[in-house]
Homo-oligomer: A and B are copies of this chain.
Amino acid sequence: MYSPGLHILAQFTAPASTLTDAGSCKRHFDQLVDTLGLANVGEVYHSFPNGGFTVTICLTESHIAMHTWPEYGLATFDVFLSNYRRDNQARVRQIYTETLSFFQGIEQTKTELLR
């Protein structure tokens, strides 16, 4: 059975200032995707009236998804990259680590799922 790759699912607390800044978040993900040589084939950023936002980035390698609840100081984060063309496991972990740092986040839960 083919095993596509590694998926990290996390939840972290962070300052409301970062959890409401979709523009900075987009620049962060754009830079990561570019630096790591991933292929973004479409994305959605949607902001809510309370300042929270929700993001899905569709990659040829799979996806990144993030949702913020600034009223609870909380975000969920997903990154899943397939190893179809090359081994991307280290990139999955790097994307999570750099995103946690970018949001000044404190990890509450992290699950690594090898799919």
A residues at B contact (CB < 8 Å): 1-2, 4, 7, 9, 11, 41-44, 46, 48, 54-60, 62-63, 65, 67, 69, 72, 74, 76, 78, 80, 82, 84, 108-109, 111, 113, 115
What is the bound-complex CA distance between A57 and B57, given in angstroms?
Answer: 9
Taking a contact as CB atoms under 8 Å apart, the answer to whether B46 and A54 are in contact is no
CB-CB under 8 A from A80, the residues of chain B are 65, 76, 78
A109 nearest CB across to chain B (Å):
7
Query: Are B48 and A60 in contact, with the CB atoms below 8 A?
Result: yes
Q: How far is the CA of A84 from the CA of B44 in the complex (A)?
A: 20
- Are B44 and A44 within 8 A (Cβ)? yes
